[in-house]
Amino acid sequence: MIKVPYVDLVKQNQPLKKKITKNFLKVLNSGNYILGKELEIFENKFKKYIGSNFCVGVGSGTDALYLSLKAIGLKKSDEVLTVSQSYLASASCINLAGGKIKFVDIRNDLNINEDLILKNLNKNTRAIIVVHLTGRPANIGKIKNIIKKSKLPQKIYLIEDCSQAAGSIINNKKVGSIGDFGCFSFHPLKNLAALGDGGAIVLNNRKNYKWLLKARNHGHPNRDDCDFFSHNMRLDTLQATFLNLKLEELEKTIKIRRKFAKYYQKNISKKVIHIKESINTRSTYHTYIIICSQRDALKKYLLKKGIDTKIHYPKPIHEMNVFKNKKFNNLINTEALSKQILSLPIAEYLSINQIKYVTKTINEFYEKK
Ligand SMILES: Cc1ncc(COP(=O)(O)O)c(C=O)c1O
């Protein structure tokens, strides 16, 4: 039996151990632990990589989403559209920033169903959080056109939740560079991963950039003054120095993940559904999700054979306790798919033999049925 872990962060970081230690010592010996040069280097490198004019390092992906919504100044009646099939923060940030969450159903590729957006827009809509789930770009160009076509008088902001999609491409553009704000998470499980929490916002609007620089740092215009009350949501300098190393590895990571994804797509039983790339896009496979029958039995079978899998996510956000007094009847696909999705191991530190073993074991399961 071959063991296939879903996550092995120690293994992931081994090849960079020497460089990570060197950068740790660089920061340790500099005495500059908050903001400073290492963070600026990362922000400059990352904005260039994404293709945006500005980048603001923040404490997490959640901070990135929250601060983007604060930057547009949400009022109590303002609605923000998003999906329920995502990590919690894609929705919770709307509530935290003072707006109303409005869920839109998803397509079979797990991204927002853009054909349902138009009928959800109204005079109270202030923004859409478009999640590029699994690293597969959502159809953001079409969403932009839908907003235009709606002819609503107010500006409707597009916030890209790229937490799972660093390096994903649509029509030759990196995701995050297309909407008004691109929000990234550098949580250790992401393709571009810190050794702790981290996040960033990329954008092209200078005024919002200047505001965000203050908003992530208590509203300070300088050390001794405050323009408005805010939180401490800075990206840690130590994490920035690690991210400078990790960013250099990102394209290599994406290449390996794409190779493994292609193998799965080609060789796993026709009885499961793969979520393939659409034309003119590059998915980065933060997760590799299949849509399958007998999901729970398959998961159990794989575990017995030494293969760990996960479910992203077993409970859509609208089914969580926090919404227990609210009824939703428009999320049919979200609810159906949450019972059929399974995330297979996919990571740059796995071997092709492990990927082949996962494939063979899934095929065995369906042949036996
Ligand atoms: C789609 C999505 N949005 C937001 C977040 C929140 O990021 P963080 O954990 O860095 O706050 C995550 C991370 O899990 C995510 O996957």
Alpha carbon of 89 to ligand 1 centroid (Å):
6
The pLDDT of residue 369 is 74
Task: Please tell me the distance from the alpha carbon of residue 257 to that of residue 325, in angstroms, as a whole number.
Answer: 41
Any ligand 1 atom below 6 A from CB of 161: yes
Measured from the Cβ of residue 129, the count of other Cβ atoms closer than 10 Å reads 27
- Could you tell me how many residues make up the chain? 369
The pLDDT of residue 368 is 83
Any ligand 1 atom below 6 A from CB of 60: yes
The pLDDT of residue 252 is 98
Q: Residue 329: pLDDT above 90?
A: no
Alpha carbon of 188 to ligand 1 centroid (Å):
11
Ligand 1 nearest-atom number relative to CA 199: 10
Any ligand 1 atom below 6 A from CB of 89: yes
Percent of the chain topping pLDDT 90: 97
Q: Residue 270: pLDDT above 90?
A: no
H-state helical runs in the chain:
9-13, 17-30, 37-50, 61-71, 89-96, 140-150, 206-215, 237-267, 295-304, 332-338, 352-368
The pLDDT of residue 93 is 98
What pLDDT, in 10s, does the model give residues 100-130? 999 999 999 999 999 999 999 999 999 999 9
Any ligand 1 atom below 6 A from CB of 82: no
Alpha carbon of 171 to ligand 1 centroid (Å):
24
Task: Note whether 110 and 138 are within 8 A (CB).
Answer: no
What pLDDT, in 10s, does the model give residues 229-251? 999 999 999 999 999 999 999 99
Any ligand 1 atom below 6 A from CB of 253: no
Measured from the Cβ of residue 216, the count of other Cβ atoms closer than 10 Å reads 25
Any ligand 1 atom below 6 A from CB of 177: no
Measured from the Cβ of residue 351, the count of other Cβ atoms closer than 10 Å reads 11
Domains and CATH numbers, the chain: 9-245 (3.40.640.10), 249-368 (3.90.1150.10)
